[in-house]
């Protein structure tokens, strides 16, 4: 395997219209992804997961600014690319699936037009050839009767079909990296499992690297090779899935794992993480997790921990991790 994506010290801030309020949505995040590998990015709402994904593609809203870092994709820093080149990369070499398929599909165009569009734009195919490929792609994502479906509109599809169509569009130009942002949130549980299996099959068939953004650690366990845990804009722990699940180094990761419901474990109540995530525009001093941390020490309230290596390929931003090195 070779290195596909190398993100170093990425920081993205939201700045209010008057410039008086700065929110550090993504703060000094670093991680790497090999070809064909899957990274899960987990964390509560507002932890910076989606802003991180949008920063990789430079698809941020106007109030957001990438203020530091590098996003090296196949060796080139995407943050230094001209806008026109980024347009060629998006959809062609890096594709994204959003959580709400209706936000990705245009209600006024047929399914065939929408699946064929990136093939025409990025690969220069004619209308006829692109439609033939669109039918093949719909078959690949297990849409029945694709020759009929290409002429239909998004409102004629179920939620599960729409999400599979978005998947077909994402893989239409055979990208190297697929970013899936909470892609199963709008699906019911049985369809979720089917869709995850489908993504897994597509990944194997196309040797795709994948970034899977979710708040669901069960999905991470099923889909991912590595995991990055986000809290208040920072990656507080990262490493291979087995190590993080078996021996988490950060109290937040440990609390997330303990909050997963398990059949037959006899607990009357689920374990919850006390308190609320901090206001990202006004985080607490020191370690941002300290007001909720069961192992907080005086030092934690004063100084934020650096990223510490705690084992082979595992890092954590926690003073306790220094004892595990």
Q: To the nearest whole angstrom, how small is the minimum distance from the Cβ of residue 228 to ligand SF4? A: 16
**Residue partners of 291: CB distance under 8 A and separation at least 6:** 275, 278, 284
Which residue in the set 290, 307, 308, 310 belongs to the binding site for ligand SF4 (CB under 6 A)? 290
Is residue 212 part of the contact set for ligand SF4 (CB under 6 A)? no
Q: To the nearest whole angstrom, how small is the minimum distance from the Cβ of residue 269 to ligand SF4? A: 23
- Report helix, strand or coil for 227: strand
Q: To the nearest whole angstrom, how small is the minimum distance from the Cβ of residue 59 to ligand SF4? A: 31
Is residue 296 part of the contact set for ligand SF4 (CB under 6 A)? yes
Distance CA 299, CA 287 (A): 9
Structure tokens at 161: 């079909």
Phi, psi of 314 (to 5 degrees): -115, 135
Which residue in the set 46, 160, 251, 280 belongs to the binding site for ligand SF4 (CB under 6 A)? 251
Is residue 43 part of the contact set for ligand SF4 (CB under 6 A)? no
Q: How far is the CA of 72 from the CAs of 8, 22, 80, 189, 288, in angstroms?
A: 8, 26, 10, 36, 28
Is residue 300 part of the contact set for ligand SF4 (CB under 6 A)? yes
Q: To the nearest whole angstrom, how small is the minimum distance from the Cβ of residue 46 to ligand SF4? A: 18
Is residue 235 part of the contact set for ligand SF4 (CB under 6 A)? no
Is residue 231 part of the contact set for ligand SF4 (CB under 6 A)? no
Between 207 and 299, CB nearer to ligand SF4: 299
- Positions that interact with ligand SF4 (CB under 6 A): 250-251, 287, 289-290, 293, 295-297, 300, 305, 318-320
């Amino acid at each position: 395997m070779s290195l596909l994506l190398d993100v170093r010290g990425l920081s993205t801030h939201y700045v209010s219209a008057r410039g008086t309020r700065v929110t550090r949505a993504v703060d000094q995040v670093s991680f790497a992804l090999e070809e064909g590998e899957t990274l899960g990015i987990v964390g509560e709402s507002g932890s910076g997961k989606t802003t991180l994904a949008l920063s990789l593609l430079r698809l941020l809203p106007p109030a957001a600014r990438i203020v530091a870092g590098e996003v090296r994709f196949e060796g080139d820093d995407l943050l230094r690319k001209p806008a026109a080149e980024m347009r060629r990369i998006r959809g062609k070499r890096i594709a994204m699936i959003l959580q709400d398929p209706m936000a990705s599909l245009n209600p006024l165009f047929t399914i065939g037009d929408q699946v064929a569009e990136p093939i025409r734009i990025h690969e220069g195919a004619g209308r006829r050839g692109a439609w033939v490929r669109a039918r093949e792609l719909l078959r690949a994502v297990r849409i029945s009767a694709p020759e009929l479906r290409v002429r239909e509109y998004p409102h004629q599809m179920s939620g599960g079909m729409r999400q599979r169509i978005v998947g077909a569009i994402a893989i239409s130009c055979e990208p190297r990296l697929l970013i899936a942002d909470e892609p199963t949130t709008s699906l019911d549980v049985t369809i979720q499992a089917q869709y995850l299996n489908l993504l897994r099959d597509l990944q194997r068939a196309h040797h795709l690297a994948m970034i899977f953004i979710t708040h669901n650690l069960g999905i991470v366990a099923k889909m991912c090779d590595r995991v990055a845990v986000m809290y208040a804009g920072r990656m507080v722990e990262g490493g291979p899935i087995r190590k993080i699940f078996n021996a988490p180094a950060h109290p937040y990761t440990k609390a997330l794992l303990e909050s997963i419901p398990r059949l037959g474990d006899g607990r009357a109540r689920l374990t919850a993480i006390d308190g609320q995530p901090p206001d990202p525009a006004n985080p607490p001093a020191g370690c941002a997790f300290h007001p909720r941390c069961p192992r907080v020490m005086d030092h934690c309230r004063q100084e934020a921990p650096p990223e510490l290596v705690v084992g082979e390929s595992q890092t954590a931003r926690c003073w306790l991790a220094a004892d595990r090195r």
